[in-house]
């Protein structure tokens, strides 16, 4: 058995669990969470299930004391919680903590201590929560989306969104999420229809989710679902309700609105050079209606890129506060 908060799971936990797997035939992993903790317990449970599908993973949500001094019946309380999911055994308890000897004794098991001094894998969950970007390499890929800074780039047609997304991704050595609509309509070889709007929204969500696992601390998104709602209403005077709802639920750490102060470039998918100011105002109204802050990015070439880089760098200057997402502490 291995138990822990896994808040979040990291390479040290993986070292412990991989060691355990080499010494047992069956492994149970207990994810223990409290409602007040900064990373949701259900999410931690999902992470551990994904990381170790070959193990029996259990989620203990009892509001138990965290330390023996907090309650005179600390060990009885925890033994009772464990026995509800592991009724027989375990034979061996693996930990990297001081409590390992007593916990194993209470369960009638042998205790094996693994890297208690954090010498082989010098990391802790506390360090990651306090400064995830300094310890990025210790965070598994399935956990990284929780910490990734998300920067959304939106704006009217032909205002350099895709170019800026590519440039920023190159500058920060990370990945970016392309505009799903462009690829879909290029393959289709025809104009957008109302039935395409749902495909575009689904594809954009799916691509962003996938790319968040590959991102190096920050993910740049070329468009969002709010943009999809704008174009749907422009072309068809309506938008599927679920897309509106999903757009309201999307959270970004920074939104860059590209200005119309650069020349129009012809493209088969662009047809409204005279409406750029109209759409710029529409974006601004939507941001105001949703209470969503944004930064207007103006200028030509390097000036525009430098302005955007400065705004992204501000995100990481503020990142000293633990687990900040969308402007609020989770």
- Are the C-beta atoms of 151 and 254 separated by less than 8 Å? yes
**Angstrom distance (rounded) from CA 308 to CA 164:** 8
Q: Label residue 186 by pLDDT band (50, 70, 90).
A: confident
- Are the C-beta atoms of 2 and 94 separated by less than 8 Å? yes
Range scoring the smallest mean pLDDT among 82-91, 186-195, 320-329: 320-329
Q: Is pLDDT of 320 > 80?
A: no
Per-residue pLDDT tens for 102-148? 999 999 999 999 999 999 999 999 999 999 999 999 999 999 999 99
pLDDT of residue 57: 98
Q: Is pLDDT of 40 > 90?
A: yes
Average pLDDT over residues 68-89: 95
Q: Label residue 324 by pLDDT band (50, 70, 90).
A: very low
**Angstrom distance (rounded) from CA 222 to CA 320:** 27
Question: b/e map of 85-118 (b: 16 or more CB within 10 Å)?
Answer: ebeeebebbbbbeebbeebbeebebebbbbeeee
pLDDT of residue 184: 85
The count of other CB atoms within 10 Å of the CB of residue 46 is 15
The count of other CB atoms within 10 Å of the CB of residue 73 is 11
- Which of 104, 116, 89, 85 minimizes the C-alpha distance to 15? 116
Rounded CA Rg of the chain = 24
SS3 214: helix
Cα→Cα distances 273→146, 223, 277, 278, Å:
38, 19, 9, 10
The count of other CB atoms within 10 Å of the CB of residue 323 is 18
Q: Is pLDDT of 179 > 70?
A: yes
The enclosing H or E element of 67 equals none
How is residue 86 annotated by DSSP? -
Q: Rounded mean pLDDT of the chain?
A: 92
Per-residue pLDDT tens for 265-297? 776 656 677 889 999 999 999 999 999 999 999
Q: Is pLDDT of 307 > 60?
A: yes
Average pLDDT over residues 63-77: 94
pLDDT of residue 326: 37
- Are the C-beta atoms of 15 and 22 separated by less than 8 Å? no
Per-residue pLDDT tens for 206-258? 999 999 999 999 999 999 999 999 999 999 999 999 999 999 999 999 999 99
Which domains, and CATH codes, for the chain? 2-138 (3.40.50.620), 148-329 (3.40.50.300)
């Amino acid at each position: 058995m291995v138990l822990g908060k896994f808040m979040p799971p990291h390479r040290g936990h993986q070292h412990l669990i991989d060691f355990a797997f080499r010494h047992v035939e069956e492994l149970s992993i207990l994810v223990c969470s409290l409602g007040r903790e900064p990373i949701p317990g259900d999410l931690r449970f999902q992470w551990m299930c994904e990381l170790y599908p070959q193990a029996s993973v259990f989620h203990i949500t009892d509001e138990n004391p965290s330390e023996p001094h907090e309650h005179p019946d600390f060990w009885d309380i925890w033994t009772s919680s464990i026995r509800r999911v592991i009724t027989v055994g375990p034979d061996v308890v693996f930990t990297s903590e001081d409590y390992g000897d007593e916990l194993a004794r209470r369960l009638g098991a042998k205790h094996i201590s693994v890297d208690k001094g954090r010498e082989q894998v010098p990391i802790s969950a506390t360090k990651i929560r306090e400064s995830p970007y300094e310890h990025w390499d210790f965070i598994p890929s399935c956990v990284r989306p929780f910490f990734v800074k998300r920067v959304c780039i939106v704006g009217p047609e032909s205002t350099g969104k895709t170019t800026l997304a590519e440039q920023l991704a190159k500058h920060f050595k990370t990945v970016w999420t392309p505009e799903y609509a462009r690829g879909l309509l290029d393959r289709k070889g025809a104009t957008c229809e109302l039935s395409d709007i749902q495909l575009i929204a689904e594809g954009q969500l799916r691509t962003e989710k996938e790319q968040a696992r590959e991102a190096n601390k920050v993910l740049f998104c070329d468009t969002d679902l709010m943009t999809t709602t704008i174009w749907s209403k422009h072309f068809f005077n309506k938008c599927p309700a679920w897309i509106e709802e999903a757009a309201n639920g999307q959270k970004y750490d920074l939104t860059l609105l590209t200005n119309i102060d650069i020349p129009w470039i012809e493209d088969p998918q662009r047809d409204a050079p005279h409406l750029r100011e109209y759409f710029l105002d529409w974006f601004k109204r939507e941001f105001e209606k949703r209470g969503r802050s944004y930064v207007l990015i103006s200028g030509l070439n390097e000036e525009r890129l430098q302005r955007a880089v400065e705004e992204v760098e501000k995100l990481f200057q503020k990142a000293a506060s633990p687990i900040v997402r969308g402007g609020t502490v989770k």
